[in-house]
């Protein structure tokens, strides 16, 4: 079974939703059979790399509220994060553009480090107050999950994996995604938002109970099926030798 | 809609099946919406890189038939290839191991050249009598489809993309694939073998007619849905700004 998770590294509910989903997964009977794929989503493709202000002021000006209201909103989100064991440091968080972090995620995916890299980037932003658009910072984080630091730096300096990020974003648009986190199970069911753990668990169970083996619409109509052979339409693998 | 095609570069029915599938695709109303993904399958992981004999002798010894019988079998396959516009040169074909060709295919996939690279490798083996385990040959073929020749050579000298090939092979095993080509549509329907074009077309139409939008199992239960905002569970993208 396949679960695709569209998210962004500066989206507070993405990290919370990830934890709630992981809690559901740990209770799910079929957890060994689940492939989790993180997909790129940019909440704000035009976000600046350097903002010279904190997240409270940025939110206040974005939503037309006072700094105090923005702080109260963040505090509320921080409390929800705390409930599931996460620490959000809004006061020192460095708001920035996430495109290069997404490229790094795809670079990590190619080296079987998708899951570790995603977690590390979220923690870097929300907990460690790191600048996740700075290439040296990103390469250091990559090294922490087992990637080569110099190779990561070289990749970041290039425009590699731009296509991969765009492909995820476009795929998300085709699926109608307007907000994140967004969880897609077997391209059949979706859970939108950082829902409670029980919602994720029941979605997993529903998709699991309905999963069927492939329906073969045709098969070699005739011909031998000798091992190691090609019959009229198919080349078969050796069954033993 | 997604079509995954498990195949190997030395499998005569894989190239024939590819052409028949492509013919079906060209007649299919939803062709613009189809994502085709080639996946790795090794007919014989233990195949030698150098065999010092031709494909007729190799087949004869493998199946315990005479060289003349093997030649007749190949001629029959060659005629089927010709019917769909392919030229197979069995007399000069260079039988070899395909693992590195599969690694190259995944390298090309990362650079959005999956389709061109797959076609080029099949033609190199069946039509051009190229040695598709030779790194210089492979790098030259890569350059022909727009990849960097030196980078391809360096990749081939490393063990990069080994995991990617193994992942495809394992995924195929999980799906129960025993022979190739094997076409999987939306992880729901399968076509096994180089079936006639009409079979592919009707499989595409069946899957297409049954495709449904995602079922949202939950959505933000409350909260505002202001553009550019995070409500109780979701961060939304700007609708316009």
Chain B CB contacts of A44 below 8 Å = 228, 237-238
Query: Which of these ranges, A94-103, A145-154, B16-25, B226-235, has the smallest mean pLDDT?
Result: B226-235
Chain A interface test: which of B33, B63, B218 (most A C-beta within 10 Å):
B218
Mean pLDDT on B133-148:
98
B218/A229 touch (CB, cutoff 8 Å), yes or no: no
Chain B CB contacts of A186 below 8 Å = 187
In B, minimum Cα distance to A20 occurs at B233
Distance in angstroms (rounded) separating the CA atoms of residues A120 and B113: 30
Our CA-based measurement puts residue B164 at a distance from the nearest CA of chain A, in whole angstroms, of: 8
**Residue-level pLDDT at B226:** 39
Which tokens hold the place of B48?
């030698």
Among A77, A190, A217, the residue with its CB nearest the CB of B215 is A190
Among A12, A164, A199, the residue with its CB nearest the CB of B230 is A12
Angle between the N-to-C axes of helices A67-83 and A12-27, in degrees from 0 to 180, rounded to the nearest 10: 10
Distance in angstroms (rounded) separating the CA atoms of residues A130 and A94: 7
A165 burial level (CB within 10 Å; 0-12, 13-18, 19+): buried
Cα–chain-centroid distance for residue A235?
Answer: 38
Between A and B, how many residue pairs show a Cβ–Cβ distance under 8 A?
Answer: 158
In A, minimum Cα distance to B1 occurs at A187
Cβ–Cβ contacts within 10 Å for residue B136, how many?
12
B192/A44 touch (CB, cutoff 8 Å), yes or no: no
What tens-digit pLDDT sequence spans chain A (241 residues)?
Answer: 889 999 999 999 999 999 999 999 999 988 888 889 999 999 999 999 999 999 999 999 888 899 999 999 999 999 999 999 999 999 999 999 999 999 999 999 988 899 999 999 999 999 999 999 999 999 999 999 999 999 999 999 999 999 889 989 998 988 889 899 999 998 889 999 999 999 999 999 999 998 878 888 875 544 434 344 677 777 877 654 3
Q: Is A224 helix (H, G, I), strand (E, B) or coil?
A: coil
Distance in angstroms (rounded) separating the CA atoms of residues A35 and A4: 8
- The string over A99-137, giving b where at least 16 C-beta atoms fall within 10 Å of a residue's C-beta and e elsewhere, is bbbbbbbbbbbbbebbebbbbbbbbbbbebebbbbbbeb
Q: In residues, how long is chain A?
A: 241
A44/B217 touch (CB, cutoff 8 Å), yes or no: no
Q: Is B202 helix (H, G, I), strand (E, B) or coil?
A: helix
In B, minimum Cα distance to A35 occurs at B171
**DSSP structural state of residue A6:** E
Angle between the N-to-C axes of helices A135-144 and A99-110, in degrees from 0 to 180, rounded to the nearest 10: 30
Listed in sequence order, the residues at least 6 apart from B74 whose beta carbon sits closer than 8 Å to its beta carbon are: B55, B56, B59, B88, B90
The CA-atom distances, in angstroms, between B127 and each of A70, A180, A235, B131, B167 are 67, 49, 19, 11, 29
What ipTM was reported for this prediction? 0.78
Listed in sequence order, the residues at least 6 apart from A176 whose beta carbon sits closer than 8 Å to its beta carbon are: B213, B214
Distance in angstroms (rounded) separating the CA atoms of residues A20 and A195: 7
Chain B interface test: which of A237, A239, A240, A241 (most B C-beta within 10 Å):
A237
Q: Which residue has the higher pLDDT, B220 or A75?
A: A75
A218/B234 touch (CB, cutoff 8 Å), yes or no: no
Distance in angstroms (rounded) separating the CA atoms of residues B5 and A183: 26
Given a contact cutoff of 8 angstroms between Cβ atoms, the answer to whether A199 and A23 are in contact is no
Our CA-based measurement puts residue A75 at a distance from the nearest CA of chain B, in whole angstroms, of: 13
A180/B230 touch (CB, cutoff 8 Å), yes or no: no
Q: Whose CA is closest to A14, among A108, A112, A101?
A: A101
Q: Whose CA is closest to A77, among A131, A137, A17?
A: A17
The yes-or-no verdict on residue B201 having pLDDT over 80 is: yes
The yes-or-no verdict on residue B240 having pLDDT over 70 is: no
Mean pLDDT on B17-21:
97
In the block, which residue shows the tokens 């979220």? Answer: A122
Which tokens hold the place of A178?
């307007």
Our CA-based measurement puts residue B93 at a distance from the nearest CA of chain A, in whole angstroms, of: 17
Chain B CB contacts of A110 below 8 Å = 110, 164
B217/A189 touch (CB, cutoff 8 Å), yes or no: yes
Helix locations, B87-196, DSSP H: 99-110, 114-126, 135-144, 149-157, 162-174
Chain A CB contacts of B199 below 8 Å = 217-218
Q: Measure the CA angle with vertex A4, ends B240 and B24; round to 5°.
A: 90
């Amino acid at each position: 079974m396949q679960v695709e998770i569209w998210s962004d590294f500066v989206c507070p509910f993405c990290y919370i939703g990830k934890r709630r989903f992981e809690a559901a997964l740990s209770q799910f009977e079929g957890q060994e059979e689940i492939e989790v794929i993180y997909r790129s989503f940019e909440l704000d493709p035009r976000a600046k790399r350097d903002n010279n202000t904190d997240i409270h002021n940025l939110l206040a000006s974005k939503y037309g509220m006072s700094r105090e209201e923005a702080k109260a909103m963040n505090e509320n989100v921080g409390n929800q994060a705390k409930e599931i064991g996460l620490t959000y440091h809004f006061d020192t968080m460095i708001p920035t553009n996430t495109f290069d972090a997404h490229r790094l995620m795809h670079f990590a995916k190619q080296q079987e480090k998708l899951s570790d890299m995603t977690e590390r980037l979220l923690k870097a932003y929300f907990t460690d107050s790191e600048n996740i658009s700075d290439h040296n910072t990103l390469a250091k984080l990559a090294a922490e999950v087992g990637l080569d630091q110099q190779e990561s730096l070289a990749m970041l300096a290039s425009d590699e994996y731009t296509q991969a990020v765009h492909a995820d974003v476009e795929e998300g648009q085709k699926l109608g995604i307007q907000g994140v986190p967004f969880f897609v199970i077997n391209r059949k069911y979706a859970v939108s938002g950082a829902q409670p753990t029980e919602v994720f668990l029941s979605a997993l169970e529903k998709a699991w109970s309905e999963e069927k083996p492939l329906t073969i619409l045709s098969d070699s109509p005739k011909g031998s099926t000798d091992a190691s052979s090609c019959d009229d339409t198919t080349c078969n693998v050796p069954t033993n030798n």
